[in-house]
């Protein structure tokens, strides 16, 4: 019985490695498909979290417009995902709702310069 523990352990480790490598290959393949499918007008997010619109594509890079008239050049590998513009609008709506709640004025203000009395 003791002689079976080591081979079973090796088979278990080999199986985990196999499934992990398969998962990584699948993710890499999906990322490659995304990067190759980018076209002018697509809204994207980079790996650093910058949002922009594709205005020009090259073999290994693309130009993103990140603000009106501001165009930056990025490697295709730096693009994390395509973003639909409806989701961006929903996020901005939620941000404005949060701002309205913060500006409601219902909070009590505390003067931080007051010294505490000690006995």
User: Does 76 reside within a domain?
Assistant: yes
- Tally of domains within the chain: 1
User: Does 78 reside within a domain?
Assistant: yes
- Answer yes or no: pTM beyond 0.75: no
Least confident range of 13-17, 28-32, 51-55, 105-109 = 105-109
Q: Kindly state the average pLDDT of the residues 83-102.
A: 58
Q: In whole angstroms, how large is the CA radius of gyration of the chain? A: 26
User: Does 115 reside within a domain?
Assistant: no
Burial level of 96, CB count in 10 A (0-12/13-18/19+)? exposed
Position 84 confidence tier, pLDDT thresholds 50, 70, 90: confident
Per the structure, the complete domain to which residue 17 belongs is given by 2-95
User: Does 107 reside within a domain?
Assistant: no
Position 44 confidence tier, pLDDT thresholds 50, 70, 90: very high
> Which CATH number covers residue 50?
2.30.30.30
Nearest of 73, 45, 47 to residue 58 by alpha carbon: 73
Q: Examine the pLDDT at 62 and tell me if it is beyond 60.
A: yes
User: Does 111 reside within a domain?
Assistant: no
Q: Examine the pLDDT at 5 and tell me if it is beyond 80.
A: yes
- 8 A C-beta contact, residue 76 and residue 60: yes
């Amino acid at each position: 019985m003791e002689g079976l523990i080591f081979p079973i352990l090796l088979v278990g480790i080999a199986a985990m490695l196999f499934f992990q490598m398969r998962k990584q290959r699948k993710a890499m393949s999906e990322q490659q498909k995304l990067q190759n499918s980018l076209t002018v007008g697509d809204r994207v997010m980079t790996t650093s979290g910058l949002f922009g619109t594709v205005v020009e594509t090259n073999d290994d890079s693309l130009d993103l417009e990140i603000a009106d008239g501001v165009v930056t050049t990025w490697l295709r590998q730096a693009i994390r995902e395509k973003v639909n513009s409806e989701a961006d609008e929903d996020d901005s709506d939620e941000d404005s709702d949060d701002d309205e709640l913060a500006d409601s004025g219902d909070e009590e203000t505390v003067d931080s310069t007051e010294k505490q009395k000690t006995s």
